[in-house]
Amino acid sequence: MLVKSQVKYIQSLSQKKSRDEEGVFIAEGPKIINELLSTPNIQLQQLYALSEWIQQQPQTLAASAIEVSAHELERLSQLQTPNQVIGVFRKPVFSKITSYHHRLSIVLDTIQDPGNLGTIVRCADWFGIQTVIGSRECADVFSPKVVQSTMGSISRVQVLYEDLDTFMEQHKDIPSYAATLHGTGLYEMQPVKEGFLLIGNESKGIREELIARCRHRITIPRIGHAESLNAAVATGIILSHIAR
Amino acid sequence: MLVKSQVKYIQSLSQKKSRDEEGVFIAEGPKIINELLSTPNIQLQQLYALSEWIQQQPQTLAASAIEVSAHELERLSQLQTPNQVIGVFRKPVFSKITSYHHRLSIVLDTIQDPGNLGTIVRCADWFGIQTVIGSRECADVFSPKVVQSTMGSISRVQVLYEDLDTFMEQHKDIPSYAATLHGTGLYEMQPVKEGFLLIGNESKGIREELIARCRHRITIPRIGHAESLNAAVATGIILSHIAR
């Protein structure tokens, strides 16, 4: 049985402010929950689940989960169709970044779609990139939809939020590469061992002032007619060419 | 002023069956509407818009649009936040495909997420691919969410729905490339001028029986730790290496 304060607590975690204050986030559904449970860097605070899900779990985990009814799960869930289990997890703890030298990092200007942000984080993880620096206008990486689309990569990729003009000024000794529609053809580029890859907003691209701060501009050559590429797809394509 | 039958008609177009019967689809919001209006292969049937949107349009277009109130737009809209204008368009007409030789096409096994399907179509368009063959379990390319994420590429890329086992059997003389987690490294591949690129379901990948029908298996080498890549991102990465 759930008590009212638990319902309130979990519902409050749909808000960034509450997640920040508590240092936790929520995830829903067996797939992402299993992924997070098997990740060393993510600590479980509490699971709320239907009895059918609990019965399939190892004993220690099953013993610690709070059983809820389908109706209770619905009250806790952010999803249109609640999916068996909701977990509250502590945000991962990353070691402090002392230098951006000798590694490739991603810088995001105003990626507002949660699915895009999550997909970019997952993509960064695939290509071994450990840090994403987002502008303050980016979606919160611990919002439920982003957590869902990172598929566990949230535990391995650190996402920091910065004022990008200040950040780029502070790190102007690091080579920077802006993904734009009019730059050097991607296929002419050599692998990049050190630098920032800048990806822009879904419809507006990277702000002019930020492009001006970048040493290089990269373009994915277009063969057909699409006006642009999705931001996460563009990130994946560029990484596959420069991060190998 | 809207009449009841118009409201019913537009609401019915959220269903695939009605779209198929009528040969039309709907799009919402200034950006995608403008994109579709400027596309030769897409014919407008009717626009429903707020007066502020109509006032900004060229005279002939403005004269043909039906003005609706914010409240009426809400009744017509599929979106949580209706966005100024809704258009009903005739489905694009493509010439019949007589051969899959001498060109690269994409084959999708059960891509169910509308956003992923739309992003794949847009990506195909970027790389000059004209045909996508989806299994019957794929999302409908004319569903409002897919239309939205194709950003107009829906007018240039033909999406056909087939029973993939039959289709692959009928075209077994065409080279086929399955995107899997255990195949030839993508970076070792030469550009592909003729063939099918097979992309699998978001969580299950390509069905085993279909993989068995493919001559080649391709893998995007992983450097980091993500379990998999998003289906649209994987499509973009592979195309950027083989479709240039």
Residues 6+ apart with CB under 8 A from B147: B25, B26, B27, B32, B118, B141, B154
Q: What are the pLDDT digits (tens) for B106-158?
A: 999 999 999 999 999 999 999 999 999 999 999 999 999 999 899 889 999 99
Other CB atoms within 10 Å distance of the CB of residue A227: 14
- A63 phi/psi in degrees, rounded to 5: -65, -30
Confidence at residue B2, expressed as pLDDT on a 0 to 100 scale: 85
Quote the CA–CA distance of B177 and B167 in Å, as a whole number: 15
Between B219 and A151, the higher pLDDT residue: B219
Best residue in B116, B233, B241 for a mutation probing chain A (most A CBs within 10 Å)? B233
> How would you write the pLDDT of chain A (244 residues) with one tens digit per residue?
788 999 999 999 999 999 999 999 999 999 899 999 998 889 999 999 999 999 999 999 999 999 999 999 999 998 888 999 999 999 999 999 999 999 999 999 999 999 999 999 999 999 999 999 999 999 999 999 999 899 889 999 999 999 999 999 999 999 999 999 999 999 999 999 999 999 999 889 999 999 999 999 999 999 999 989 999 999 999 999 999 8
Confidence at residue B80, expressed as pLDDT on a 0 to 100 scale: 84
Q: Closest by alpha carbon to A197, among A152, A231, A161?
A: A231
Length of chain A: 244
* Exposure string over B12-31, b if 16+ CB within 10 A, otherwise e: ebeeeeebeeeebbbbbbeb
Interchain proximity A236–B237, CB inside 8 Å: yes
Q: Identify all chain B residues contacting A243, using CB atoms and an 8 Å cutoff.
A: 223
Which helix or strand (DSSP H or E) is residue B105 part of? strand B104-108
Q: How many Å lie between the alpha carbon of A1 and the closest alpha carbon of chain B?
A: 33
Interchain proximity B186–A240, CB inside 8 Å: yes
Report residue B143 as tokens: 């569903």
Q: Which residue in A has a C-alpha nearest to residue B235's C-alpha?
A: A233
Quote the CA–CA distance of B86 and B79 in Å, as a whole number: 10
Quote the CA–CA distance of B16 and B114 in Å, as a whole number: 13
Interchain proximity B124–A203, CB inside 8 Å: no
Q: How far apart are the first and last CA of chain B?
A: 51
Order of strands across the sheet that contains B24-28: B24-28, B85-90, B44-49, B66-67
Between B29 and A79, the higher pLDDT residue: B29
Cα of A65 vs its chain's centroid, Å: 26
In chain A, what are the domains? 4-90 (3.30.1330.30), 104-242 (3.40.1280.10)
Q: How many Å lie between the alpha carbon of B201 and the closest alpha carbon of chain A?
A: 15
Quote the CA–CA distance of A197 and A18 in Å, as a whole number: 31
Task: Tell me the torsion sign for CA atoms A127, A121, B111, B150.
Answer: negative
Q: How many CB pairs under 8 A join A and B?
A: 120
Interchain proximity A233–B119, CB inside 8 Å: yes
* Exposure string over A117-147, b if 16+ CB within 10 A, otherwise e: bbbbbbbbbbbbbbbbbbbeebbbbbbbbbb
Quote the CA–CA distance of B161 and B76 in Å, as a whole number: 28
Best residue in A223, A228, A239 for a mutation probing chain B (most B CBs within 10 Å)? A223
Chain A interface, Cβ < 8 Å to B: 31, 35, 115, 119, 122-129, 149, 151-153, 156, 186-187, 203, 220-230, 232-237, 240-241, 243-244
pTM of the model: 0.94
Best residue in A116, A127, A188, A230 for a mutation probing chain B (most B CBs within 10 Å)? A230
Confidence at B1, pLDDT banded by 50, 70, 90: confident
Residue pair A104/A93 in contact (Cβ under 8 Å)? The answer is no
Q: Identify all chain A residues contacting B240, using CB atoms and an 8 Å cutoff.
A: 186, 220, 237, 240-241
A60 backbone φψ class: left, alpha, beta (φ>0; ψ -120 to 50): alpha
Task: Tell me the torsion sign for CA atoms A210, B123, B183, A35.
Answer: positive
